[in-house]
Amino acid sequence: MHAFDGHVPAVVLRLDRNPFHHGTLGAVRSLGRRGVEVHAVVEAGGGPMGRSRYLRAVHPGPAGGLDPEAPETLLECLVGVSERIGRPAVLVAMDDLSAIAVARIAPMLDGRFRIPHQPDGLPARVADKAELSRLCARWDVPHPETVIPASGAEAAEAAWRLGLPVVAKWSRPWLLPAGAGLRSTTLVHTAAEARRLYERTEEAGSRLLLQRFLPAGTDTDWFFHGAFGRGGHPLLAGSGRKELSWPVRTGLTAVGRWLPDPAVEEAALRLARRLGYQGILDLDFRRDEKGCFRLVDFNPRPGAQFRLFTDAGGLDVVQAMYLDLTGQRVPEPAGGPGRVFVAENYALLAAVRGCQLPWRSRAGGRDAVPAPARAEDAGAGAGQGRTAGERSGGERSGGERPGGERSGGERPGPVRVAPRAERGRVEAAWFAADDPMPFFAMLAAFLGRGAGKGARALRGVPAHGRRTARAVVRAPRQRARDLTPPAAPASPGTPAAPAEPDELVTR
């Protein structure tokens, strides 16, 4: 166990109204177990997280929500929380909106909260998907081919040129109005659908992007978590692979494994250095058909599965950031790769919907990982802030080019089965023997929500509109084939739902 002085309180902030956000609970437990006095600013009651024994108090967020372009209400809220606590505290933003708003009011919180110093507007820039695309092009970070149309006709033409289906994203998803039926990311199947989606740009509040679709498959979805000090210096970092996700194939990590990959780590660390990033980040990568890892998302805050990256002494990115902001030495991480993280509720849904278990999902075996070229690379993670590529002067195993593309456009190399000694422990998102109440609260709320949806279906009045009982009980794909889509309205309307609802991403 590393030395840890928890004399400074911490405030966990989440403005996204998601009672099942297990990352917030992870941050509360991570700091609370170290003796830190933890407060949370979330929705009323805090959801299942509010039942944690490690949480000192739950404080309501800004009344009436937060206007992303006018964060003054958040400033008033946080000043009130600071006065109630009575001393300066470390502030940890757990969602994009919180991170962006805090960065805008950071100078006015000086003396009340300890916050990572970010260059002007950096969290908003990297979370803006259009700006991220430009940064990747400028710094040669592999990224899916992206088009930003200037008209509905350009959107339709770009969809054909990129190749259907294409991925449609709103540049600033935190501006999407609630209840409008707009998703941050949608899989578009027709040029007409791309045109209709563009026509809702004013309603969405930001630009529409169209990206080439990268098919999901075995070993394609990877992520990177890191905590960085001043100048983009890594305090703790690591790469991992999604074993199961919800929604299936495209959503959040339901089951993940810490697996070092030099290409992912090198690209992420290089980007953080270029940005001068300070704080915690969560990056999503997808491997394309040629084996090249492409950055698809940049989240300027901890990912919900950040506890996956916990070393042998219990250190994770939230603790590392706390130590750095309180002037304490961040210990050199030791061990960790091989650990598995499971979000129980989403893992169950993903296993049932995907008809597979995580240990059955890999062709190379239940613990198959990419085979490193050198023995010393096998145990090398990014936890120490030094990847295998950095130690060898920028050379990557297997002759990889930056971003994971291998010479000759070859597919990823062979896999190996990790020895049992390398297989790390499993950490659950919700259940913990020393803090069981959030799990039972989550279970009750999750089952209650499922029962409510089932009751609406039996009444023939689902939340998205009336359907016949026969249509309700059909499989989603069968409904999509059989139901005749409504005629397009004269004015901009909600785009038709694609035939594959599990291909939609909600972040």
What pLDDT score was predicted for residue 466? 43
User: In 140-278, where do the E strands start and end?
Assistant: 146-147, 166-170, 185-188, 208-212, 221-228, 234-246, 252-258
| Structural contact between residues 10 and 33, judged by C-beta atoms closer than 8 angstroms | no
Q: Look at residue 410 in the predicted model and tell me its pLDDT.
A: 39
How far apart (Å, rounded) are the C-alpha atoms in residues 414 and 368?
A: 9
Residue 198's H or E segment, with its range, is helix 191-198
> How far is Cα 283 from Cα 272, in angstroms, rounded to an integer?
11
DSSP state of 168: E
Query: For residues 31 and 10, is the Cβ–Cβ distance under 8 A?
Result: yes
Supply the DSSP string of 420-483, one letter for each residue: GGG---EEESS--TT--HHHHHHHHHHHHHHHHHHHHHHHT--TT----HHHHHS-HHHHHHHS
Collapsing DSSP states into helix, strand and coil, what is residue 339? Answer: coil
Q: Are 339 and 305 a contacting pair, CB within 8 Å?
A: no
- The packing angle between helices 191-198 and 152-162, to 10°, is 140
Q: Nearest to residue 269, comparing CAs of 293, 296, 234?
A: 234
pLDDT of 69 reads 77
Q: Are 146 and 297 within 8 A, CB to CB? A: no
Q: Which of 49, 47, 48, 73 is nearest to 61 (CA)?
A: 73
pLDDT number for residue 178: 82
Q: Which residues, at least 6 apart from 248, have a Cβ–Cβ distance to it below 8 Å?
A: 350, 353, 354, 502
The pLDDT value given to residue 488: 43
| C-alpha dihedral (324, 326, 332, 333), degrees to nearest 10 | -80
Query: CB neighbours of 244 closer than 8 A, spacing ≥ 6?
Result: 253, 254, 255, 346, 347, 350, 351, 354, 356, 358, 361
C-beta separation of 327 from 4 below 8 A? no
What predicted TM-score, i.e. pTM, was given to this entire model? Answer: 0.79
pLDDT of residue 376: 36
Q: Which pLDDT value is given to residue 51?
A: 95
Q: ω before 165 within 30° of 0 (cis)? A: yes
Closest listed residue to residue 131, CA positions, set 165, 92, 171, 162: 171
Contacts of 243 (CB under 8 A, 6+ apart): 254, 255, 256, 257, 340, 358, 359, 361, 362
Q: pLDDT tens per residue, the chain (507 residues)?
A: 677 888 999 999 999 888 899 999 999 999 999 999 999 999 767 899 999 999 999 999 998 788 877 889 999 999 999 999 999 999 999 999 999 999 999 999 999 999 999 887 899 999 999 999 999 999 989 999 999 999 999 999 999 999 999 999 999 999 998 888 999 999 999 999 999 999 999 999 999 999 999 998 889 999 999 999 988 899 999 999 999 999 887 789 999 999 999 999 999 999 999 999 999 999 999 999 999 999 999 999 999 999 999 999 999 999 999 999 999 999 999 888 999 999 999 999 999 887 766 654 444 443 444 433 333 333 334 444 444 333 333 333 333 434 444 433 334 433 334 445 445 589 999 999 999 999 999 999 988 887 777 677 667 655 554 443 333 333 333 333 333 444 444 444 444 433 333 333 333
Helix axes 317-325, 22-32, angle to 10 degrees: 50
Give residue 424's pLDDT.
59
Query: Residue 26: which of 247, 331, 309 has the closest Cα?
Result: 309
DSSP label of 67: B
* Share in percent of the chain as helix, strand, coil (round to 5): 35, 20, 45
